[in-house]
Structure 1
Amino acid sequence: MKICLVPTMFPKYKGDYYGSFIFDDAKMLVNKGFEVHVVTQHNTGIPYEEIMDGIHVHRFRWMKPKKFKALVHFKGLIDNFRLVTYLISLFFNLMWIIKKLDIDIIHAHSVVPTGLIGVIVANIVRKPVFITVHGMDITNFENNPFFKRLIRFSLNNCNKAVAVSMDLSEKMEKLEIKEDKIIVLRNAIDTKRFIPLKNRKIRNYYGVNDKDILILFVGYLDTFKGVFELMNSFHEINKKNVNVKLMIVGEGPKNNELKKIASRLCLETHVIFAGKISPSDIHEYYQSSDIFVLPSHTEGTPLVVIEAMACGLPIVASNVGGIPEIVINNKNGFIITPQNEIELISKVQILVKNQSLRNKFADKSIEIINTEFDNDIKVEKLINLYKNAAGR
């Protein structure tokens, strides 16, 4: 069977974290014997066509920005014009790939723009089409009447609308998506790699000793991820504890601003900016840490939380999106109100001071992962969806 994935996010090269969860899904399908093609936008400095771990990647031309940025961060007249060129180019390239290679299944990731184009093309060529909803593709547009119509059209005209959380499923129902169209298929991870192993390699490299409590953040460095609240909160936590350090993994538009804040607050020796880490190495950072924090303003079901849980970390995360479905308050972590620094300080401080509670939460995190978030279980469910749609 030939599968065509149509994501807005996909790694630009092997080891790129951007869209790595879709790359992992594609690789699992290849390992199961499927022929997998990915149609996605081109970015500067990478080939238009290549094969990555058996995945056929086709990148289309469009009026891309000179410096890479995610589609969800496009703003203004010029970016809107870029999106128009994106839509037109995606439509014609997807049509060409589907017909030329006789693709069996189209699977778009994100409702607009890829899901919309996927549905239009699928209806023309008479192929089954799935759309996975990840979060921001709905939450960013649910109050916009024009985009609500596009979302409603796309999801009501695909074979199945795949939500990565119950929260997103409920949001789709409120948008008047037909109930029989919606299925929940949670994000999952490789539980053979993300394991609760204590790893000293990263701690040693950054000079974090055994007595230090290492707090970890992994994500895009922008305001909506709660990075400024995290920095301010850590400043207060650091005043009360001499043995805490904060490691920030990731990059983004607020990177330099955060470093300036760390310098202004005299936190240079306590805050570690690790930068962008290859997906193949990221598990070592979880395994070297003691607490995972994600104080986002908005989310779907963040893969980083699942990865942290699998590595045996207690979690402090915001009450947004699908997070409360995987972080059970007072069981494997603490759920906090977004943008509430007082709560964030209080909950992290409790975990810093209480090792037995950290261990208790860690055990529960591992238990939840082993029952619900294994990649092998997810891919089998995905394959069954494909086979049923294709009549095989």
Structure 2
Amino acid sequence: MTTSDSLDVCFLINHLDAGGAQTLLRNIVALDDRPHVSYTVCYAGGPNEFGSEFEALGVDVVDLGARTDPPQFDPRAVARTLQYFGTHDVDVVHGHLPYGAVLGRIAGRRADAAVVTTHHSVRQNYHPIERTLERATRRYDDATVFVSDAVAGSFDGPTDDTLVETIYNGIDVAGFREQLQSAAADQVRADLGVADELLVLQVGRCIEAKRQLDLVRAVDRLTHRLGDPGVHVAIVGDGPQRSELEAAVRDRGLDAHVSIVGRVSPSRIHDYYAAADAYAQVSAYEGMPMTLLEAMASGLPLVGTEVPGIAEFIDSETGLLVPPESPPELADAMAALRAVDHRTQLGRASLTRVAERYEIDRTVEAYHEIYEQVTAGRMSAAPEATMRSH
């Protein structure tokens, strides 16, 4: 394929609710200015918060109308995938997340298209049914992509004739910072009741793997140690553990120091990044959190756990690393960031790092190199398996 040829790419994903993978796809579409490339977004079903953002970019959004509750594999999705791709021509089907990967492989065979899949999380985060079906269908990939070395290391390897790469997620740093300029930071701090306290932000689904309870426990320790901890934690997101988090805050009398904000629309999330003084990613495991890139683009110092998928992106220049599931060390790290000079230095390095390594242009270029290889490979020999990081 040459750059003068048209290229039709269909992203296939489980749902279009707010999430890291969905944000990445939106960023890719928004920043790809190649006139010969067109995109379609198919999602299995369920939430569709991001659909309007893709449509605003001129992208067709297709709902396959399936159930998306874990383990997600609704047989209707298979039938509707076969039906849709039997009548729509695409050059590349790009599946994301385990459900999207399996459906993408089915779609690729139905449409006689090249198949690319991207894994955004470590394999142990997949439901057992997802792991089984994903592994059983992986031989249909023309290319398999991992968003970090941590994710790549959690998988047991592709088939011999599959192109394999690690491509880091990317963000439009300048565009994100432009939105920060008009963000309602003061209003957020007023709504949270935060004046001079260190405002530590955490954005993500309220689930066990994110370990938000450790943040609550860390603030509780600071309160017992100092009386006034000088720290306020804001957890932005929703999910099955939200009520437990709210109860933990209430039972410990931490309402003045911890806010469980709930779901915030993508258009408002910049308000919280602009208001924050630091960002915490304290998960038990991760792939490559898009929220971490957003925090870095906001110039925030980072607090992270020493687990693959987080420690891969945070070091002593950009933040503080603590052992996973360790509220005492987490409390010490947040207390250390109350020093303005310290967190300012870390925040500047964080912004420099994301601009140098994780700009969305690098991600888009890397994916297009793959698209060119797999579409050319369908007219000749299969590409030799490789592994490289961007």
Fold match by TM threshold 0.5: yes
Deviations 1:159-198 (A, max 9, x none): 11111001222233x4465496211111111212333869
Distance 1:242 1:176, change over 3 A: closer
Deviations 1:202-247 (A, max 9, x none): 22343322x2211111111122211111111111123424432111
Cα separation, 1, equivalents of 2:283 and 2:53: 35
Deviations 1:7-62 (A, max 9, x none): 12323xxxx5585314414632775443322222223899x999722221111233
1:192 aligns with 174
Q: CA deviation at 1:107?
A: 0.3
Task: Indicate the RMSD between aligned Cα atoms, in angstroms.
Answer: 3.0
1:6 aligns with 12
> Among 86, 90, 114, which residue is 1:128 paired with?
114
Question: Superposition pairs for residues 190-339 of structure 1, below 5 Å?
Answer: 190-195=172-177, 199-209=185-195, 211-239=196-224, 240=226, 241-328=228-315, 330-339=316-325
Q: Do the aligned residues in 2 keep the contact of 1:156 with 1:181 (CA within 8 Å)?
A: no
Task: Give the letter for the 1:203 counterpart.
Answer: R
SS in 1 for 2:101: helix
Q: CA deviation at 1:113?
A: 2.9
Question: Superposition pairs for residues 154-173 of structure 1, below 5 Å?
Answer: 154-172=137-155
> Among 23, 44, 67, which residue is 1:21 paired with?
23
Q: CA deviation at 1:325?
A: 1.6
Q: CA deviation at 1:334?
A: 1.6
Distance 1:317 1:169, change over 3 A: same
Cα separation, 2, equivalents of 1:109 and 1:367: 29
Cα separation, 1, equivalents of 2:54 and 2:291: 26
> Among 88, 99, 110, which residue is 1:101 paired with?
88
Distance 1:300 1:17, change over 3 A: closer
Distance 1:41 1:153, change over 3 A: closer
> Among 317, 335, 341, which residue is 2:327 paired with?
341
Cα separation, 2, equivalents of 1:91 and 1:30: 30
Q: CA deviation at 1:120?
A: 3.6
- Number of residue pairs matched by the alignment: 362
SS in 2 for 1:326: coil
Distance 1:249 1:383, change over 3 A: same
Instruction: Indicate whether 1:36 and 2:19 are aligned.
Output: no
Distance 1:379 1:35, change over 3 A: same
Task: Give the letter for the 1:189 counterpart.
Answer: I
> Among 42, 55, 61, which residue is 1:57 paired with?
61
Distance 1:39 1:204, change over 3 A: same
> Among 98, 104, 109, which residue is 1:118 paired with?
104
Cα separation, 1, equivalents of 2:59 and 2:188: 31
- Return the TM-score normalized by structure 1: 0.82
Q: Do the aligned residues in 2 keep the contact of 1:5 with 1:109 (CA within 8 Å)?
A: yes
Cα separation, 2, equivalents of 1:118 and 1:128: 10
Q: Do the aligned residues in 2 keep the contact of 1:107 with 1:118 (CA within 8 Å)?
A: yes
> Among 162, 165, 177, which residue is 1:183 paired with?
165
Cα separation, 2, equivalents of 1:286 and 1:219: 13
Task: Give the letter for the 1:154 counterpart.
Answer: T
Cα separation, 2, equivalents of 1:369 and 1:304: 12
Cα separation, 2, equivalents of 1:379 and 1:317: 27
Cα separation, 2, equivalents of 1:161 and 1:44: 26
2:3 aligns with none
Deviations 1:138-165 (A, max 9, x none): 22359x6x86664444334311111100
- Return the TM-score normalized by structure 2: 0.83
Higher relative contact order (CA 8 A, sep 6+): 2
Unaligned runs of 5+ in 2: 1-6, 378-390
